[in-house]
Amino acid sequence: MDDARPVDTAVIGAGYVGLTVGACLADLGHRVACVEKDRLKLAALRAGRVPFHEPGLPELVRAAREHGLLSLTDDLAAAAARAPLVFVAVGTPTRGDGTADLSALQDVVEDLSPVATPQHVVVVKSTVPVGTAEWVQGVMAHAGASVAANPEFLREGSAVADFLHPARVVIGTLHDGAARLLASVYRPMQCPILVTDPRTAEMIKYASNAFLATKISFINEVAAICERLGADAAVVAQGMGADPRIGPHFLRAGVGFGGSCLPKDLRALVACARVHDVRPLLLEAVQDVNEATRQRFIDTVESALGGLRGRTLAILGLTFKGGTSDLRESPALDIALRLLDGGAVIRAFDPQVGEEITGHLPQAIRCTDAYDAGEGSDAILLLSDCPEFLHLDWRRIASRVRGRLIIDGRGLPVREVATRAGFVYLGRGDRLPVSVP
Ligand code: UDX
């Protein structure tokens, strides 16, 4: 296969992974058909709207469509029949027992099977249990198609940049032709390309997310200890992170990890280990610390205010992290629900989430901005690291609140400015204040 040649490509599933893969490949000159079976999502995309917040993606989709390199369809068989390279990027949500639900992937493989040929390379991008690509290979064997596991490492909010400038690409396949084709597609990214067997590739994805989760739970546990000892957890992280063996990333103490990937992939790895008679002691502890971290934040609020019942709390940020509109497994949302359960009145605002707030938190008061949320509140809780919160006018908020207390669950760099505006600022790792103005 010629390195420079554009490849006709189909991407099945136009969520934030599939659409990013499709739009970026089109940007690199390949002709891509994105297949989406959700009619509402497809209609939105065709009308030029990306139905989730992903910076840079709408512009990339628009440009690729204008250049005739990106089409949007619900006809999987027709798209795949025309494309020798097929990426599968459908969701693999958690089932009740923690294992990954592969039904969407199974449906896709069933639809692909009749149109597959020896020229086809089917690439599993979805995060799937070890052994899944082998199963797909078994289904495709009759057609002579090749299969590869090619996990994604895209963060929501920076998915486009992560795709175009990856730290590494992992290709798991037993077929030289598939490895060569995928390597040629990724070559412009100029990053290390690791070619291995499918099982190892699938495990690299789970192990990577499990390790990121481990770093977060580690620093959250250190922060809990710092809180008792009067040490500054953020500076501890800085001091540790300067050691190249440790590294500075994913050491921000906060309210714990959430989102559509880390908790789900950790659960799936734990479940898979148990099925194979391995007790995943460390990974279980990572989950326990994550849960304890949320509760510790609630305990801090309760102690600082002398109880929750009847207290008015302004919650700023509900998404699982800043820069997204995604509420899946959001620690902020979970904390808000528990505070409501404890009898608090919640005034909530998130710059990326509108009416959806009411669906998730029917008892909360949805506010139009941070100033509105602060109105009459006993404390401001920062629960998502939204970039918008770095530019708030804290004096304006101070003039509307009842108690000048900020409890920051995200370590935003607002301590100084908020303190100047008259607030008591409580960060992760700080001791409780004596009195709140
Ligand atoms: C993650 C992985 O990073 C990505 O490689 C994978 O493919 C998909 O899952 P994402 O879910 O977008 O990406 O979120 P990420 O940026 O990894 O953050 C996950 C959670 O950890 C968030 O709730 C975030 O707020 C939290 N976090 C992250 C911390 O609490 N502290 C940190 O230092 C870093």
Per-residue pLDDT tens for 236-267?
999 999 999 999 999 999 999 999 999 999 99
For residue 434, name the pLDDT band (cuts at 50, 70, 90).
low
Pairwise CA distance, residues 207 & 306, whole Å: 42
CA distances 139 to 134, 203, 211, Å, are: 9, 21, 32
Q: Which two tokens stand for residue 230?
A: 């009067």
Question: For ligand 1, atom 19, which residue shows the shortest CA distance?
Answer: 257
Query: Is 261 tagged catalytic?
Result: yes
Neighbours of 195 (CB within 10 A): 18
The pairing of beta strand 312-316 with beta strand 379-382: parallel
pLDDT at 121: 98
Q: Mutate which of 52, 168, 218, 257 to test ligand 1's pocket (most atoms within 8 Å of Cβ)?
A: 257
Find the catalytic residue in 24, 261, 367, 386.
261
- For the stretch 188-233, pLDDT in tens is 999 999 999 999 999 999 999 999 999 999 999 999 999 889 888 9
Of residues 319, 312, 365, the one with CA closest to residue 339: 312
254 lines ligand 1 (CB under 6 A): yes
CB 15 near ligand 1, within 6 Å: no
Instruction: Tell which residue, 255, 253, 256, 258, has the closest CA to residue 226.
Output: 253
pLDDT band, very low/low/confident/very high, at 53 (cuts 50, 70, 90): confident
Q: Is 218 in the pocket of ligand 1 (CB under 6 A)?
A: no
CA triplet 212, 217, 219: central angle to 5 degrees? Answer: 100
Query: Which whole number is the average pLDDT over 336-362?
Result: 95
256 Cα: distance to centroid of ligand 1 (angstroms): 10
Topology of domain 9-196 in CATH is Rossmann fold (3.40.50)
Question: At residue 4, does pLDDT exceed 60?
Answer: no
Amino acid present at 199: R
At position 366, the amino acid (one-letter code) is R
pLDDT, position 1 = 41
Angle at CA of residue 206, ends 205 and 207, nearest 5° = 95
Q: Does 202-437 match 9-196 at the fold level?
A: yes
DSSP at 93: P
* pLDDT for res 435: 62
User: What residues does each domain of the chain span?
Assistant: 9-196, 202-437
Retrieve residue 276's tokens: 């194979």
From its phi and psi, is residue 263 left (phi > 0), alpha (psi between -120 and 50) or beta? alpha
**Domain covering 202-437, topology:** Rossmann fold (3.40.50)
Tell me: pLDDT of 136 over 50.
yes
Of 192, 382, 210, 396, the closest CA to residue 290 belongs to 210
Q: Which of 101-110, 353-362, 380-389 has the lowest mean pLDDT?
A: 353-362
Give the pTM: 0.94
Strands 365-366 and 9-12: unpaired
